[in-house]
């Protein structure tokens, strides 16, 4: 489907994702921007569906983000509907952007019987162009007629932009002896940085859990998953991550996040979120190498994460990895520029199994041949110990190749 060179980390196939009781969906070709492909997805959660969400921290968010933030708190008796289009982000087009979300939500309310103000909307694509909502609303009647409990792969494809493959993950957990299912899809390839990214992700479960518990789970787990990845340090205007529970499973309602019955579910949810986050970073625009940066010995976990992100976002580090150059000097530079406590003579730097630098100088037994051989690997591990405290963090990134420039230079053409 994508016109871009496939990621070397693309999976061989989309996962087999089972139906989830209480959810149906459909896709359509609305013609928002693309020709000959689907670009619209609607998912309907049965009455009583609970929802939680986290959104971009960009201070210039899109109208769909503003709308969905408010929609989370709407108490609706009818179905919960998620509407996602690709092709335009519906951002920074003034009142036209606002009008488009209202028209879209009203169209869903008219056709699906949902409360307009509770409709959850997402858009992804070009910034600065208003969404023509009539292209979406024209599809809703036919989509309602074609709703199915299947179609996760179709949904993942419909929301893609520069992605080179559809992204999905599935897992299950046991609550009160009842097995519950968790399915998730995501899109994202560029403009990826914490808080969250040009990233859309939707996770659904049949578990019987209320919205306040879902919100705590999602907010707690996003830090080590979607907010631990970076392609290019750019935080999008459209980031949206939704977690929906149909409450169709036959177990007692969970209303306390500390309920021990949640333990298995928490672990399974984290696996789904982490899986989707890793798929996004491994489809980074122009990627040829996956980078894992582990920071230890920092004064705090927060400080460690900031230093890790400084390394993962450094164009000089990223291009060195692309060029298979074990240039540890660039790593030291990125540590020092992070603005966090660091002492040159206490640092140690590893690339893979090789100790490159320590005590303010090159490690005595390191050889360039060792580093060059390791840098040929597809996955690169960078480890820095600051020797100052117990703070630690792991972040995930990718290299920077000329294809990243090619993709973003002609994105609107």
Alpha helix ranges (H) inside 222-259: none
Whole-angstrom distance, CA of residue 6 vs CA of residue 8? 6
Buried b (16+ CB within 10 A) or exposed e, 264-273: ebeebbbbbb
Whole-angstrom distance, CA of residue 133 vs CA of residue 31? 11
209: DSSP letter: B
Half-sphere exposure of residue 310: CA atoms within 13 angstroms, side-chain side: 20
The residue from 38, 198, 235, 237 that is catalytic is 198
Name which of 10, 18, 1, 21 is nearest 152 in CA terms. 18
- How is residue 130 written in tokens? 């208003």
198 is a catalytic site residue = yes
DSSP 288-357: S-EEEEEEEEESSHHHHHHHHHHHHH-HHHHHHHHTT---HHHHHHHHHHT-S---GGG-EEEETTEEEE
Contact present, 149 and 112 (Cβ < 8 Å): no
Whole-angstrom distance, CA of residue 339 vs CA of residue 107? 49
Name which of 62, 29, 67 is nearest 128 in CA terms. 62
Contact present, 237 and 91 (Cβ < 8 Å): yes
Whole-angstrom distance, CA of residue 228 vs CA of residue 55? 15
Query: Token match 């230079």: residue?
Result: 409
Contact present, 306 and 273 (Cβ < 8 Å): no
**Phi/psi of residue 12, each to 5°?**
-70, -30
Name which of 384, 285, 387, 385 is nearest 330 in CA terms. 384
Whole-angstrom distance, CA of residue 215 vs CA of residue 72? 10
Angle ∠(332,287,29) on CA atoms, nearest 5: 140
Helix (H, G, I), strand (E, B) or coil at 213: helix
* Active site (catalytic) residues: 198
């Amino acid at each position: 489907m994508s016109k871009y060179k496939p990621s070397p980390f693309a999976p061989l196939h989309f996962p087999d994702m089972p139906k989830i009781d209480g959810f149906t969906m459909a896709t359509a070709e609305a013609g928002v921007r693309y020709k000959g492909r689907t670009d619209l997805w609607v998912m309907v959660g049965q009455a009583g569906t609970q929802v939680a969400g986290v959104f971009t921290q960009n201070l210039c968010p899109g109208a769909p983000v503003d709308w969905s933030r408010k929609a989370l708190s709407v108490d609706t008796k009818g179905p919960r509907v998620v509407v996602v289009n690709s092709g335009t982000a519906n951002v920074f087009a003034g009142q036209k952007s606002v009008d488009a979300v209202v028209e879209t939500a009203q169209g869903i309310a008219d056709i699906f019987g949902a409360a307009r103000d509770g409709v959850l909307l997402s858009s992804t694509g070009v910034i600065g162009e208003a969404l023509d909502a009539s292209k979406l609303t024209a599809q809703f009647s036919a989509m309602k007629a074609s709703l199915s409990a299947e179609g996760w792969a179709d949904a993942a494809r419909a929301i893609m932009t520069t992605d080179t493959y559809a992204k999905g993950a599935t897992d299950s957990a046991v609550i009160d002896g009842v097995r519950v299912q968790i399915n998730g899809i995501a899109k994202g390839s560029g403009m990826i940085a914490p808080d969250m990214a040009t990233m859309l992700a939707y996770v659904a479960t049949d578990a019987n859990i209320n919205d306040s518990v879902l919100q705590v789970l999602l907010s707690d787990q996003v830090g080590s998953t979607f907010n631990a990845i970076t392609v290019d340090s750019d935080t999008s205007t459209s980031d949206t991550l939704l977690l929906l529970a149909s409450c169709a499973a036959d177990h007692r309602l969970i209303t306390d996040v500390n309920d021990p019955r949640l333990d298995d579910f928490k672990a399974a949810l984290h696996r789904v979120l982490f899986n989707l986050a890793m798929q996004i970073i491994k489809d980074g625009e122009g990627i040829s190498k996956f980078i894992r940066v582990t920071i230890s010995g920092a004064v705090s976990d927060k400080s460690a994460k900031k230093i890790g992100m400084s390394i993962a976002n450094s164009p000089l580090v990223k291009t060195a990895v692309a060029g298979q150059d074990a240039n540890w000097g660039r790593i030291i530079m990125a540590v020092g520029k992070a603005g966090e406590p660091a002492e040159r003579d206490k640092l140690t730097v590893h690339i893979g199994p090789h100790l490159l630098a320590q005590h303010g100088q090159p490690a005595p037994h390191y050889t360039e041949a060792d580093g060059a051989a390791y840098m040929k690997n597809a996955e690169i591990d960078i480890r820095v110990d600051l020797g100052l405290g117990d703070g630690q963090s792991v972040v995930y990134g990718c290299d920077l190749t000329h294809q990243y420039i090619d993709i973003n230079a002609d994105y609107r053409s």
